[in-house]
Structure 1
Amino acid sequence: MEPNATTNENLNIYERAENYTKTSLELLKLKTVYSVADGVSSLASKIAVGVVVAFFTLFLNVGLSLWIGKELGEYYFGFFIMSLFYLIAAIILHKMHHRLIKTPIGNSIVSSILKEK
């Protein structure tokens, strides 16, 4: 009777370990799906806001270019001045892109993936 009890006990431990492993894997899958879904939905909403801001900026720049050009006497002067402004802004962003863009976005992505809900 003694060997049989040990076998049943080992089998019971094996079943528990198997169930624990399956449950842990399922939990890991669900956490992964949640993290990916949260990241994709955040990205989609940020893209939508970015598109609206891009259109706003486009129309604002055209308006400013026309207004500056009118004040200077020729419309193309306004577009040249706005282009020069964006060239200077691009140079500044290129020089400081790690501090202004890469680090904050990287931190945001990591924190959204690692956050607990």
Structure 2
Amino acid sequence: MEPNATTNENLNLYEKAENYTKTSLELLKLKTVCSVADGVSSLASKIAVGIVVAFFTLFLNIGLSLWIGKELGEYYFGFFIMALFYLIVAIIVHKSHHRLIKTPIGNSIISSILKEK
């Protein structure tokens, strides 16, 4: 009777190990789906806010350009001044894009993926 008891214990242990493996894989799948959904929803909301800010900035720039141009006597002067301003901003951003853009976004993505719930 001893061999049968050992066989039953081994079979029971095998079933438990199989169930544990299936449950662990299912938990890993659910955690992955949760992380991806969280990342995508954050990205979607940031894109929506970015679009609204872009429209605000566009209309603000048009208004400022027209106002500056009116004050200087010719409307196109205002657009040239705004273009020069954005050229200077673009040069500054290009020179420091790692510190201002790449590193913070990379850190945000990594922390979003690795955060525990």
Alignment deviations for residues 87-106 of structure 1 (CA, whole Å, 9 cap, x no partner) = 00001000000000000000
Q: Give how far 1:13 is off.
A: 0.7
Aligned partners of 1:11 and 1:86: how far apart in 2? 72
Uncovered stretches (5+) of structure 1, i.e. residues with no partner: none
Q: Give how far 1:112 is off.
A: 0.6
Q: Give how far 1:50 is off.
A: 0.3
Aligned residues: 117
Q: Give how far 1:27 is off.
A: 0.1
2:83 is aligned to 83
CA-atom RMSD, angstroms?
0.4
Question: Which portions of structure 1, spanning 4 or more consecutive aligned residues, are displaced by more than 6 angstroms?
Answer: none
Q: Give how far 1:76 is off.
A: 0.3
**1:92-103 alignment to 2 at 5 Å?**
92-103=92-103
Aligned partners of 2:24 and 2:97: how far apart in 1? 40
Aligned partners of 1:12 and 1:94: how far apart in 2? 63
SS in 1 for 2:116: coil
Aligned partners of 1:65 and 1:55: how far apart in 2? 15
Q: Give how far 1:37 is off.
A: 0.3
Q: Give how far 1:16 is off.
A: 0.6
Q: Give how far 1:43 is off.
A: 0.3
Aligned partners of 2:91 and 2:12: how far apart in 1? 67
Of all paired residues, the percent bearing the same amino acid is 91
Q: Give how far 1:15 is off.
A: 0.4
Taking structure 2 as the reference length, what is the TM-score of the superposition? 0.99
Uncovered stretches (5+) of structure 2, i.e. residues with no partner: none
Taking structure 1 as the reference length, what is the TM-score of the superposition? 0.99
2:105 is aligned to 105
